[in-house]
A and B are shown apart, each in its own frame.
Chain A
Amino acid sequence: AQSVAQPEDQVNVAEGNPLTVKCTYSVSGNPYLFWYVQYPNRGLQFLLKYITGDNLVKGSYGFEAEFNKSQTSFHLKKPSALVSDSALYFCAVRVNQGGKLIFGQGTELSVKP
């Protein structure tokens, strides 16, 4: 069965420090991987995606993610966190058939000044 796991419900980071939000996946076939961010009472905003090619993907707002096929991971990173990065982050995978997005359970990121 296809699945996505975000092992941390919450990540706390001090402003200016690097941040990592973890994601692992289990799919058959080639995965298309996505990160979304959700601010309170808003929809999900697309941050970045991995389809093929370079394992390090750069996205919006200074975020990047590293695809690791052997570890089946797609961790979201940012070198220097901002208070405004505080939000709910979702990792998602889309497989070859059907195109349905499978979401992780979400990670609440809190960046303190």
Chain B
Amino acid sequence: DAMVIQNPRYQVTQFGKPVTLSCSQTLNHNVMYWYQQKSSQAPKLLFHYYDKDFNNEADTPDNFQSRRPNTSFCFLDIRSPGLGDAAMYLCATSRARNNQPQHFGDGTRLSIL
């Protein structure tokens, strides 16, 4: 089945130690998104790629960066994780049209020691 896959599902890292979360998709969608979600709150958009065009949200900390080497893969890099970065990170994809839904992966739950 076509889908959005996030690895790993659970990630533990140390305070200040860089961590990378990955997302892959078999939907061949133009747009890929990264969201941060804390304790049953609404997902908060960090940034998105429209093809290779990177779009950062104004309030996304500099600590968070992303790479999209090709259509299928997208990475979230957290350079120096703080305790406040512990959260669920969700990847989503969509076709490049406003009337299309976003398709979400099952997320990576990040814990900071």
Contact = CB atoms under 8 A, between A and B. Distances in A.
B76 interface: no
Interface stretch (A12-20, A67-75, A78-86, A98-106): A98-106
22 contacts: A41-B107, A41-B109, A42-B106, A43-B4, A43-B92, A43-B104, A43-B106, A43-B107, A44-B102, A49-B99, A49-B101, A90-B42, A90-B43, A94-B98, A95-B98, A96-B98, A99-B31, A99-B96, A99-B98, A103-B42, A103-B43, A104-B42
A45 interface: yes
B45 A44 contact: no
B27 to A, nearest CB: 12
Contacts of A108: 40
B104 A44 contact: yes
Interface in B3-44: 4, 6, 31, 40-43
A11 interface: no
Contacts of B40: 88, 106, 108
A interface majority secondary structure? strand
Contacts of A32: 98-99
B interface majority secondary structure? loop
Interface of A: 32, 34, 36, 41-46, 49, 51, 88, 90, 94-96, 99-101, 103-106, 108
A46 B102 CA distance: 7
B98 A34 contact: no
Given A32-B98, A100-B48, 8 more contacts: A43-B92, A44-B92, A45-B104, A46-B101, A90-B42, A95-B98, A101-B102, A105-B41
A48 B106 CA distance: 19
